């Protein structure tokens, strides 16, 4: 007989108003960053939007007005929304809960029970305009403790402590999905396809970059082209370059072993400087170049060693070669 296991960590609704409650320095912003940026409404950021200074306390009232407007509009659209503000007083929480109820959205309180001494210590390295006085932090911490018992009565559907939340898995999943988009592995054709390109070669290269979706020149790997006028470079996106999960680019260059070789020769390209060197021929004899016909320099050297070894085993053959060389020299 099996019994269904009760989850050790509460799962938050996918669409809700999530109000973070804690003193300054409790870790609200760190927790908020585990949600997508568009879902987070930070009072500090809104101060910056209205005053050009996130630490401008004189702009708090204006920032709160903007916060309430954005919460209402997001609730109307039924968008998951995280409020990153101190929220230790019922007066600060009431308009937020009212907006959720007005649009039929659940309101979730997430309490950060960070010890007072930790909240105070976190003020020390902050810039002067972002440092909250110790007396204020102590008052916020006390208000947070006293408010816990009243949160359900204020209209919150659920109340959770932050340390009990199941946030690591969705956070890592989101980062993993973003990385797949960076690498163009999500099947999309938008900017996500170019984020790895931006990271390796810089944003200036993006307007010239074009994926060649039907190209087979790289043996099944994705192929792109950088073109400006008559000049262009062909690149391939390689997987598992130095190990499982590693990615990188190769650039197409001439075969260094035979000028009439019809194979493709590839050399790693790590930066935009590599692209310049490839275009100007400075990578044509790079030690890591690999031709699809001749292989790399190690392969060619091994073929030469094998050929010399065969001649050592066949003295008459070497004599014939020496005789042909002498004839060629003397006409």
pLDDT digits over 27-86, tens only? 999 899 989 999 999 999 999 999 999 888 889 999 999 999 999 999 999 999 999 998
Whether residue 5 is predicted with pLDDT greater than 50 in this model: the reply is: no
For residue 314, what pLDDT is reported?
54
User: Over the stretch 112-125, which tens digit does the pLDDT of each residue have?
Assistant: 999 999 999 999 98
What is the share, in percent, of the chain residues with pLDDT greater than 90?
A: 51
Q: pLDDT band at 186, cuts 50/70/90?
A: low
Whether residue 7 is predicted with pLDDT greater than 50 in this model: the reply is: no
Task: Give the whole-angstrom CA distance, residue 247 versus residue 160.
Answer: 40
Domain ranges in the chain are 17-166, 187-293, 299-330
For residue 317, what pLDDT is reported?
47
Report the CATH fold assignment for 17-166. Rossmann fold (3.40.50)
Q: Chain-wide mean pLDDT for the chain?
A: 83
For residue 19, what pLDDT is reported?
96
For residue 164, what pLDDT is reported?
85
Q: What is the mean pLDDT of residues 207-217?
A: 89
Q: pLDDT band at 302, cuts 50/70/90?
A: low
Whether residue 245 is predicted with pLDDT greater than 70 in this model: the reply is: no
Whether residue 130 is predicted with pLDDT greater than 90 in this model: the reply is: no
């Amino acid at each position: 007989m099996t019994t269904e296991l009760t989850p050790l960590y509460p799962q938050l609704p996918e669409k809700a108003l999530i109000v973070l409650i804690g003193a300054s320095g409790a870790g609200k912003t760190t927790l908020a960053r585990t949600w997508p940026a568009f879902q987070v409404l930070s009072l500090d950021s809104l101060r910056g939007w209205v005053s050009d200074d996130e630490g401008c306390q004189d702009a708090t009232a204006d920032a709160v007005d903007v916060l309430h407007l954005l919460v209402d509009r997001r609730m109307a659209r039924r968008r998951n929304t995280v409020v990153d503000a101190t929220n230790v007083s019922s007066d600060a929480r009431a308009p937020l809960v009212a907006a959720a109820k007005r649009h039929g959205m659940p309101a979730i309180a997430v309490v950060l029970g960070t010890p007072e001494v930790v909240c105070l210590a976190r003020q020390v390295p902050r810039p002067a305009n972002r440092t909250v006085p110790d007396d204020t932090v102590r008052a916020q911490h006390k208000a947070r403790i006293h408010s816990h018992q009243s949160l359900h009565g204020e209209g919150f559907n659920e109340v959770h402590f932050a340390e009990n939340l199941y946030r690591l898995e969705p956070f890592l999943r989101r980062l993993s999905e973003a990385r797949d988009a960076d690498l163009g592995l999500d099947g999309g054709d938008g900017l996500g396809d170019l984020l790895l390109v931006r990271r390796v070669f810089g944003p200036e290269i993006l307007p010239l970059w074009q994926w060649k979706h039907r190209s087979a020149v790289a043996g099944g790997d994705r192929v792109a082209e950088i073109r400006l006028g008559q000049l262009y470079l062909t690149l391939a996106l390689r997987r598992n370059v130095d190990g499982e999960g590693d990615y990188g680019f190769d650039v197409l260059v001439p075969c260094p072993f035979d000028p009439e070789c019809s194979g493709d020769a590839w050399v790693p390209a790590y930066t935009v400087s590599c692209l310049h060197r490839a275009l100007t021929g400075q990578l044509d004899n790079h030690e890591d170049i690999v031709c699809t016909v001749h292989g790399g320099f190690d392969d060619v050297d091994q073929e030469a060693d094998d050929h010399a070894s065969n001649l050592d085993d066949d003295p008459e053959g070497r004599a014939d070669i020496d005789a042909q060389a002498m004839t060629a020299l003397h006409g």
